[in-house]
Structure formats: structure tokens, C-alpha cells
A and B are shown apart, each in its own frame.
Chain A
Amino acid sequence: MTRDALAVWRQRFTEREEWRLTEHFFRALFDFGFLSDLAADSFKRVLIGSVGGFIAFGLLLTRAFMVKYAMLLGTGTPERYRRALLGDDMLIIGLPMLLVAFVTLLVSHSLFPDERDFRILGPLPVRRFVVFRAKLTALLMFAGLFTAAAHVSLLPLTLLTSLNPWGEHNVLLRLIAWGIASVAGSAFAVLSITAVVGALVLALSRSQLQSLSTFMRSMVLGLLVVCLPLISHLPTLGGALSSRAPWMLFVPPAWFLGFQRTLQGLADSWLVQLGVVGLLATLLAATVVGVTYLVLFRQFERLMLRPAPTSAPWWRADRLPVRSRVSPAFEGTYRFTVKTIGRSQLHQGVLVGLSACGIGLATIFLTSARLTTSATFVPFVLMFACGVGARAALALPIEYRANWIFQVTEDRIARREQLRAVDRLVTLYVIGVPLVAAVPLLWMAYGTNALLPFAVVPVVGLVFVHAVLLDWRRIPFTCSYLPGKRFIGHSALIGVAACVLFTLTSGGFVRLAMVDETQGIVVVASLLLIGYWLRERRLLNWTRTPLMFEDEFPDQTIQLQL
């Protein structure tokens, strides 16, 4: 009887319009708009499978910390344990915060009801209140899924760090306090990103919103990627926290550690202060999100149906052409590429995200190696990441079916010019970003002797661009994209091996240039010659090979001859 009643209740609940809408919004959070149905399904599986990945990662982390805690517990005094625990607790709180921040940023296009919802749901007999509540519920479910997975995965580690022979704390109380404080930290991460997106939605016009929110999301993504290596340093900050270093006020995981210790009743005035900062920041972000939802709810039509702008935004120059010295095909492709990177969230995100991986790796170098070693290798780590990021961003399509204009205007001579524009852009980016990092680093490491090593960086870049564009014969963003053409592990292995090989070889060239001036000149001259020869060869090939508009699998299927 009870089971029947439950089944009836469940059926009634799932048949309610609000549940259907929540389900729709929840599913939409997994849809990024650029993948085919098949690829989107595959991506959903990857995303859900990653939950299992977090749990495996948590167990691995626990195993790694076992050695550390065996040593700490063997020292006989609780002081070192206490200090280590402060740092490790920040890591345990910081990891879920970073993860949910990433995930929230990934779905930041769907955080609020938008124009599409307005146009599709508006004519249907659904109350606006229901739409907004369903959207918010879907968002909470989505963030909750990843928050829960992250916390379950870190539970064994928290338990490990809780056990001690000195009775420093009640283990159960500590686990409950950690759960509350860490979930609050994750909520802060979700709310702060949602608040930034909400503030932009309210403050900007529709045309400004596209460019500025794309830029903002890319910057936040870059920041989060750079935070990855920084978060691995959190366990070393226990000393800074216990000595009340004022800059800890700018480390969000420290806020929620303060909150956790306050809940445990173990906080001194400094930790209470940090906890209060954390709660106030969460409250502020929640208020902005709440106000945004409220304003959107009350003035949905006005905000969603803003008139088209009648004047150019201040940051854009007039778009009418001026006299140009380059060929029209070059100019057209160059500008199309720059504008797309500037306006498409996906493409900019891929470019910035992958490049930021390079910045993250560079940060690890800078914080853990000597300055001369860092100066030798950091520019090339950056170069590799920028190259991979540029290629990946240019390969992803935008409005795939609009590529007909490139197909009907394809021409042997124009093709060379179009691909030369791609070459120019990739060269500028792949050499430019590392150069910006190399100048101060090499100067600080080698002083006036840095001139020749400094010249090595751009010439290595010239050769590297050819590796990036080795089999490239596409106009950026116009070719279809087949994700997962190779096994992910295979691709990752090749990528890491290539990065290590490239960085070590290029760093070796810098070392050669440092050791002997003549050797340095020979290296630079040889690389210049190789770069020039490769470039000319590729440009010639471009006139002979047609453009590619359909992505291909790298290898033909091999049939077994049985």
C-alpha cells in the first residue's frame, strides 16, 4: 500500500510541468551547443564518468598522504601535526571549490533564463515563476552533483587527517564541521561565478554582453587553470596561516578553514575573522545572484528584448574598410579569425584555457626551480601550451553550415593567402606570448648576457609553428570536428612526451647559446634557415592541396586479413 502510494506520488511529481522543465534545464546544462548529438552524448558520459574519476583521485590522494601522516604521527609531539593539518585542510576545502568553479564556468551560458527561454517558453501556458524556479533548481542539482562527488572523494583523506593520538579534536565533530564549511566554500565558488555573470547580464546591452562576457569568462577560466598548480601549494601554507600572515585574507580556502575551526570550537580570533570574511563573501555573492534573478523575473521582457545598438561600442573601431596593403583573401581570413576568437566564448575559452595550462606549468617551474633553470625552460613550456591552444581553438567549427561561402570562393591563389593569414596569426600568438615572459626572466637570470639566448626563443618559435600547422589545410572554424579521434590516453601520452621533448631540446639550445657565442649564432642561424625552408615548402603545398571542410580520422580502418 505504502509502496503504491509512493509510486503514485512519484508519478504525479515527475509529471508536473515544473519537474519536466527542471529536467529540461538540467539536461541543457550538459549541452554546449557546438557538439553533434553523438558527441554531446559521449561528452555527457565523460562528465558523469568523471565523477568516478574524482573518487579514484581522492583515494590516490589519501594513499599519498598516508606516508606523510605516518611520519607526522610518529614524531611524538602535536605541533607539526597541527601546522600540517592547517595546510592540508585548506587543500581539502580548496579542491572542491576549484572543481565546482570550473564546472559552473563551463555552464555559465545557462546560469540564468535567457532570450531563448523567453521566446520558447513565453507562448506556452507556463508561469514565469515556475520557469525561474525550475532553472534555479536545475542549477542547484547540477552544482550539487559535482559538490557531492568532490566531497565523497575527499572523505577518506579527511578521515585520515583526523586521526591522531593526542586527541586534538572530536573526529565526528570535525567531519561534520568540514562538511558544512567545505560545502559553504563550494557554494561560494558557484555563487561568485554566477554573481559575476549576473552582474554582466544586468549591466550590459545585448551586443556588449556577448563580447565582454566572453572575455570575462576566458579570464576567469585562465585564472582557474593557473590556480591548479597554486592549489597544490596549499599544504605548505600552514605556517603562514598560523603566523597570521595578512595575505591569507586573500586566500578563499583559508576563509572556510576559519569557518570550519569556528564550528569545531577550536578557532582563535584570527581564524574566526577569516571565517567571518568567508561568510560575508558568500552572502554578498548570494545577494547579487538573488537580485539578478529578481530583476530578471520582474523585467524579463525589457532585459531580454533590448533594441539593437545604434552606435559602435567604444572599444571597437569603425568597421568600414580602409586602404590595405595585403591581399583581400589574407585580410578577410585574418579579420574573420580575430573577430571569431574575440567573440566566441568556446574558441576564446579553449585558447585561453589551454594557454593558461602553460602559465600554470610555468608557475610550478618558477616556484620550485632555480631562476636560471626557469628562465631556460619557461618560455618553451608556454610556447608549447600556446601552440596546442591555438591549433585546438582554430580547429573547432563555428556555424559549420555557413562555411559554404568559403567553399564557393575557394581559389588556388587565394588559398595560399588565406592560409598565410592563419600562419601569421599563429606565429604572432605562439611567439608573442612566450617572448613577453622570456624578456624579464632571461634578463633577471642572465643580465646583459641574455641577448643571444633571447634570440633563440623566437627562432625556435618559427620552427615550432610549422609543427603546429604541419598538416593544416583549413580556414579556421570552417571544418567539421570529430572529437575523440584517438584514444584519450594515447593523445595525452603523445602530448606530454612532445612537450617534454620540445622543452628540453629548446632549453638545450638556450644553454648552448649561453655557453658559447659562436655556438649560439650557429644555433640561431640554423633554426632560421630550417624555419624559412619549412615555411616556403608549406606555402607551396597550400597552393596544391584543396582546403579541408570535413574532418577526417587520422588513420584508415585496418582490416584484419583472416
Chain B
Amino acid sequence: MLEARGLTKRYGGFLALDRVDFQVRRGEILGYLGPNGSGKSTTVNTVVGLIDPSGGSLWMDGSPISDDPIGYKRRIGYVPEEPHLYTHLTAIEYLMLVGRLRGLSEQTLAQKIPALLTLLLLWDSRYATMAAYSKGMRQRVLFAAALMHNPDLLVLDEPFSGLDVTASLLFRTLLRMFAAGDRMVLFSTHRFDMVEKLCSRVVILSRGRVAAEHDMEEFRSQQSRSLEEVFVKTTGQDDFTPVARQILDLMQP
């Protein structure tokens, strides 16, 4: 189980995360929802070890990750929000680089990379550098890189942007089966539909704080409102009709 205890992050005078607590249990996909600037990406960056928290701690299976940060990093796979890749490399070269940095043997790489690229429909583009790839193709490469070393915890930051319907369906199924294998998924997104269809629990973040937490099973049975309505109410989002009206007015010549 991954556990965040009082996670806090300060950028100068700005409090991006304010004593955030949540748990990602084995076998579950935790949805992490919040409007822009609520602290989702800061949480994700802290969980994958890209930034250090200003306060609080992260625990993995009962031990603080600060005890063995390298061992912890070996157990996670990460798909970032933007497809930041070395686009002068081909998909094979990039996956080989990632595999080698993760310490995978050459034989393992030789076996896994062609199979993954074939399954993700990237094999035909294997000779092109990723500069020529669409956003969806780059996203698929990131998924392959995140899964290649068989991680325990998958951290996904808006992973479905740019993916077509087929790929989205494939990854939804894949994530369910991945979590079902006693593993964990932290799924940060803006998309309510994805959370409703995919996640076992949801944490709603607002202004750096946990505003609500729901078990999706209970939520579906008890709530008469949709997740979107709950989100709007919880995060204090206003009625957008006046803003939309103003934009339409501005469009007039």
C-alpha cells in the first residue's frame, strides 16, 4: 500500500499541497481529481520522486520511502501528463535507454521491446524517430516504458490525452487487469467519465487540500448526483453560464 501522510509542498510563499493524506491500496485504482492548480501534478511529482515534499511523508508497504528511495523508485512506473521524450530517438532506442536505466538485462529487452511495440501498434513505425510520432503514439511509448520493468505501482498523470478510442479501451482494460494482480494505480485526471468507469476510489483535491474522498462502489449506490456534480460542489466551482455568455458576446463583430 502507498500512503501519503500530511504531504505538504511549498514553493516560496505558495502552498501547493497542504497536509494531504491518501492511500492507494493493493488491487485498487485510486482516482485523483482536481481543477487546474489544485496540486495534482505536485502530488504526482512528489510520489514519483521528482520533487521532495516540504513536509509529511510517503510510505510504501509500511515503510517510509525515505528509508530506501532507490528501491521504491524501482517499483514504480510513471506516465507523465505531457509526452516529454527524447524525440531524436526511435521508440526502440528510447525503450532500450529506459530499460537499461532500470537495470533490465539485454536479453529481457530484446524479448520485451518488440513484443510491446507490436502489441501497442508501434512496430511499423520502429525506424522513425519519435519526432515524427503523433501525441497518441508518444503516449503509447510512455505506457510501454512504464510497464516494461513490471512495477508494483503505476502513477498516471492524465494518461489518456491524445489516445484514440481503441488505445483508450485497451489501456482501460489493461489498468483494471494490472490492479487486479495485487498492484496499485494512482490515476490523476480531469476526466470524470474515466474515474467513474475505472477507479475503485476517488480523492478530490481543491486548493492543495483533500476536499473529499469517496469509495466509487458506495458512491454509485448512494449518490443520486453524478461525480461531476459532486466535484463542482466540492471544489466550489461556480456556474459557468455567465462566463460562457461573455465569451459568446465577445465573438460578435
Inter-chain contacts of B106 with A (CB < 8 A): 321-324, 328, 331
Minimal Cβ-Cβ distance residue in B for A340: B88
Bound CA span A320–B127, Å = 11
Minimal Cβ-Cβ distance residue in A for B109: A321
A309 touches B48 (CB 8 A): no
A210 touches B88 (CB 8 A): yes
**Least Cβ–Cβ distance between A491 and chain B, in angstroms:** 29
Inter-chain contacts of B103 with A (CB < 8 A): 328-329, 411, 414
Minimal Cβ-Cβ distance residue in A for B125: A308
A320 touches B128 (CB 8 A): no
A312 touches B93 (CB 8 A): no
Of residues 391 through 409 on chain A, the ones whose CB sits less than 8 Å from some CB of chain B are 398-399, 401-402, 404-409
Of residues 283 through 330 on chain A, the ones whose CB sits less than 8 Å from some CB of chain B are 308-313, 319-324, 328-329
Q: Is A109 an interface residue (CB 8 A)?
A: no
A207 touches B127 (CB 8 A): yes
Inter-chain contacts of A412 with B (CB < 8 A): 70
Selected contact of B101 from candidates A207, A343, A414, CB within 8 Å: A414
Minimal Cβ-Cβ distance residue in A for B106: A321
B101 touches A332 (CB 8 A): yes
Bound CA span A402–B132, Å = 16
B49 touches A405 (CB 8 A): no
Minimal Cβ-Cβ distance residue in B for A399: B86
Inter-chain contacts of B92 with A (CB < 8 A): 319-320
A402 touches B124 (CB 8 A): no
Q: Is A339 an interface residue (CB 8 A)?
A: yes
Interface residues on A, range: 35 or more
Q: Is B194 an interface residue (CB 8 A)?
A: no
Chain B window 177-193, contacts with chain A (Cβ cutoff 8 Å), 1 for yes, 0 for no = 00000000000000000
Among B29-37, B58-66, B77-85, B215-223, the one that faces the other chain is: B77-85
Bound CA span A197–B106, Å = 39
Inter-chain contacts of B93 with A (CB < 8 A): 319, 335, 339
B127 touches A311 (CB 8 A): yes
B87 touches A323 (CB 8 A): no
A206 touches B102 (CB 8 A): no
Inter-chain contacts of A311 with B (CB < 8 A): 127
A332 touches B70 (CB 8 A): no
Bound CA span A328–B97, Å = 9
Q: Is B131 an interface residue (CB 8 A)?
A: yes
B96 touches A411 (CB 8 A): no
Chain A window 110-136, contacts with chain B (Cβ cutoff 8 Å), 1 for yes, 0 for no = 000000000000000000000000000
Q: Is A533 an interface residue (CB 8 A)?
A: no
Bound CA span A241–B16, Å = 73
**Least Cβ–Cβ distance between B5 and chain A, in angstroms:** 22
Q: Is B145 an interface residue (CB 8 A)?
A: yes
Selected contact of B102 from candidates A343, A407, A409, CB within 8 Å: A409
Q: Is B19 an interface residue (CB 8 A)?
A: no
Bound CA span A520–B100, Å = 43
**Least Cβ–Cβ distance between A323 and chain B, in angstroms:** 6
Inter-chain contacts of B124 with A (CB < 8 A): 308, 310
Bound CA span A312–B124, Å = 11
Of residues 130 through 150 on chain B, the ones whose CB sits less than 8 Å from some CB of chain A are 131-132, 145
B90 touches A408 (CB 8 A): no
Q: Is A162 an interface residue (CB 8 A)?
A: no
Bound CA span A107–B105, Å = 42
**Least Cβ–Cβ distance between A328 and chain B, in angstroms:** 4
B131 touches A210 (CB 8 A): yes
Q: Which of B84, B88, B107, B127 has the most CB of A within 10 A?
A: B88
Q: Is B104 an interface residue (CB 8 A)?
A: yes
A332 touches B100 (CB 8 A): yes
Q: Is B207 an interface residue (CB 8 A)?
A: no
Q: Which of B98, B99, B132 has the most CB of A within 10 A?
A: B132
Inter-chain contacts of A553 with B (CB < 8 A): none
A319 touches B96 (CB 8 A): yes
Inter-chain contacts of A332 with B (CB < 8 A): 96-97, 99-101
Q: Is B129 an interface residue (CB 8 A)?
A: yes
B49 touches A408 (CB 8 A): yes
Selected contact of A406 from candidates B76, B78, B101, CB within 8 Å: B101
Of residues 218 through 238 on chain B, the ones whose CB sits less than 8 Å from some CB of chain A are none
**12 A–B contacts from the bound complex (CB under 8 Å):** A207-B127, A319-B92, A328-B99, A331-B106, A340-B88, A401-B84, A404-B50, A404-B78, A406-B101, A409-B73, A409-B101, A414-B103
